[in-house]
Homo-oligomer: A and B are copies of this chain.
């Protein structure tokens, strides 16, 4: 009796447990059975990605890269989430400035603020980088880092995109979410390397992308350590640009924050060109990818002539060097996740 009860059945259960645990630890067998990139249509882009990952993760392959060197960097605006009709961080700055305006009567004499408060978007953008920076500084400085974090999270909860009527942090690209998860499942460490403000991104990117704050590289303003009125230490955000993580600033930011050269990088505009050059100039297998916005129906279509996310020089170089260019309309089954 005892033997019958504890016989094959228990052995089978135990064996299954061991096998299940072993599969769980390796992760590879289970994932080989399902498509890790279900929102990507079969095509050259998807194939280039999966081929690259297979090459660098196969033990004994000439292209094998040890896990600690599997650094992958992603631009944010236009690569991981939407950047139209203008950068979402600007939408945040505009909303914040409108809310703060009653306490700043002096703003009425400033062209940029006046245009903003008059809802004259054309005049607002006509004030150029200088005018927009004025609004960004007014809304990104003069508070502690903790206060700023709270204002970003509060805004993200209530603000809605003018065309899609969804929270901005839900306008992330489903295929790129899958790519991030796929890379991490294959031992990659995923980083954001964005021209956007690092303190604007950090509060929400962990939930949106599974990327923790310490893996976000971005532009920054000067921050000062000081004591509050009640003697508590705090970090004050000052109205002074410290670092612009765009164009040639991206490899500099990667070197400063990460200290290793990526083997995999993805961008969508000329602002990513130097990051892609820096990534592919390293020895061994390298991957450079570009998201080309070709989908006017589901998202937007823009490239060489666009003011935001201009893709011109980087496109030429991608063609010349055989980098992977993702055609959003052709390569992506879906663009955004199901409504949250």
Interface residues of A (CB under 8 A from B): 3, 6-7, 10-11, 14-15, 17-18, 21-22, 25, 68, 71, 145, 189, 191, 198-199, 202, 206, 212-216, 220, 223-226, 232-233, 235, 248-249, 251-252, 255-260, 274, 277-278, 281
Contacts and interface: CB of A to CB of B under 8 A. Distances in A.
B251 A214 contact: no
Nearest to A254: B235
A237 to B, nearest CB: 10
A277 B233 contact: yes
Nearest to A215: B214
B233 A278 contact: yes
Q: Is the interface of A mostly helix, strand, loop or mixed?
A: helix
A21 B260 CA distance: 34
Contacts of A202: 259
B281 A198 contact: no
Contacts of A277: 233
A258 B214 contact: yes
B14 A18 contact: yes
Contacts of A220: 256
A225 B248 contact: yes
A248 B225 CA distance: 6
A223 B235 CA distance: 26
Given A14-B17, A223-B255, 20 more contacts: A3-B7, A11-B11, A11-B14, A17-B18, A21-B21, A71-B214, A189-B214, A199-B259, A213-B260, A216-B259, A223-B252, A224-B248, A225-B248, A225-B252, A225-B274, A232-B281, A233-B251, A233-B274, A233-B278, A257-B257
